[in-house]
Chains A and B, each alone.
Chain A
Amino acid sequence: SQTIHQWPATLVQPVGSPLSLECTVEGTSNPNLYWYRQAAGRGLQLLFYSVGIGQISSEVPQNLSASRPQDRQFILSSKKLLLSDSGFYLCAFSGTSVTGELFFGEGSRLTVL
């Protein structure tokens, strides 16, 4: 079966520090992968998506970046965190159905102080 995991689950970082969130998918090959952010009381905002290794599309300008070094690995990074980067970060992959529903990892809750 297809599964997705991301880590760490929770982190508290000072402003200006770097960030690395990692996500891996099992049970499928060449998935479409996504990073979303959910700020408190707001909807999910698509940050990046990837249709293959090394292929990254950015949805919004920001100080975050994403990389896909392997088929089933997706990484979200920042060199210097801002207060506004706080939020709930979710990795997701598309199912094999033609309707393209998403399945999410457990999420990473980031607090920038």
Chain B
Amino acid sequence: RKEVEQDPGPFNVPEGATVAFNCTYSNSASQSFFWYRQDCRKEPKLLMSVYSSGNEDGRFTAQLNRASQYISLLIRDSKLSDSATYLCVVKGATNKLIFGTGTLLAVQP
């Protein structure tokens, strides 16, 4: 089983739609969780950290479910500029960040 698993997509959604990504992780001792965004042929950039109580940043909401070992990212009112690959990242007990392979989102006009 992979340490961090994501649905690779692609998710094709119209502008204005709400889309949700899920990610599961295998190590129950994982400490920190993040979502990164990666545009085509660019470096990953931190989108948001994921806190135990859940957190929101504008149109983006991240949630953590420790019991089921998954994290989620919800994007409301999708924009064309949201098209990118979204990487789920987990910091394990060894303090190293483990990256998922990413979920590709394509927002259509």
Q: A residues bordering B, Cβ < 8 Å?
A: 36, 41-44, 46, 49, 88, 90, 99-107, 109
Q: Which residues of B contact A (CB under 8 A)?
A: 4, 31-32, 34, 41-46, 49, 87, 91, 95-97, 99-102
Is A43's CB under 8 angstroms from B97's CB? no
- Residues in chain B near residue A41, CB distance under 8 A: 101
Task: State which of A43, A49, A90, A99 has its C-beta within 8 Å of the C-beta of B49.
Answer: A99
List A contacts of B46 (CB < 8 A).
101-103
- Give B32's nearest chain A residue, CB to CB: A99
Q: Are B41 and A109 in contact (CB under 8 A)?
A: yes
Nearest CB of chain B from residue A19's CB, rounded to whole Å? 19
Q: Are A43 and B43 in contact (CB under 8 A)?
A: no
Q: How far is it, in angstroms, between the C-alpha of A29 and the C-alpha of B43 when the chains are bound?
A: 22
Q: Which residue of chain B lies nearest to A102 when distances are taken between CB atoms in the complex?
A: B97
Question: Roughly how many angstroms separate A107 CA and B45 CA in the complex, as a whole number?
Answer: 12
Residue pair A90, B91 in contact (C-beta under 8 Å): no
Chain B residues in 8 Å Cβ range of A44: 44, 87, 99
Chain B nearest CB: distance from A35 CB in Å? 13
Q: Which 9 A-B pairs have the closest CB atoms?
A: A43-B101, A104-B43, A44-B99, A99-B32, A107-B43, A43-B99, A101-B46, A104-B44, A101-B34
Decide if B42 touches A107 in the complex (CB within 8 Å). Answer: yes
Q: Is the CB of B96 within 8 A of A46?
A: yes
How far, in whole Å, are A103 and B44 apart by their CA atoms in the complex? Answer: 8
